[in-house]
């Protein structure tokens, strides 16, 4: 009976270990939520502001690059983080 309990405890620990390893780092839902709902939107807002300031100060090429390239990168990263977080929580 004692051996059976040890085996089930070991299996339980292994199952917990793989679940914890799978949810660690940037792949955890908490990290994805912070990135997708806080960090990437703030970076997009700062990039959009800087792009508009560049356009208004007659630096059209740099401003358009900020608005078309960099801003879209942050938006796509935010959407990606949202979708991956939703899949992990489902």
Residue that wins the pLDDT comparison between 18 and 60: 60
> Packing angle between helix 71-89 and helix 40-56, nearest 10 degrees?
170
> What are the tokens at 20?
């914890």
What sign does the dihedral 66-70-74-75 (CA atoms) show? positive
* pTM of the predicted structure, to 2 decimals: 0.70
| Helix, strand, coil content of the chain in percent (nearest 5) | 90, 0, 10
Q: How far apart are CA 72 and CA 12, in angstroms?
A: 44
Residue 15 has what pLDDT? Answer: 56
pLDDT digits (tens, 9 = 90+) for 2-58: 555 555 555 555 555 545 445 667 789 999 999 999 999 999 999 999 999 999 999
């Amino acid at each position: 009976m004692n051996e059976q309990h040890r085996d089930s405890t070991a299996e339980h620990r292994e199952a917990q270990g793989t679940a914890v390893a799978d949810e660690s780092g940037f792949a955890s839902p908490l990290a994805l939520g912070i990135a997708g709902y806080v960090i990437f939107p703030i970076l997009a807002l700062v990039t959009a502001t800087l792009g508009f300031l560049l356009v208004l100060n007659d630096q059209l090429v740099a401003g358009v690059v900020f608005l078309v390239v960099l801003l879209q990168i942050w938006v796509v990263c935010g959407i990606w983080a949202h979708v991956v977080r939703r899949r992990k929580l489902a």
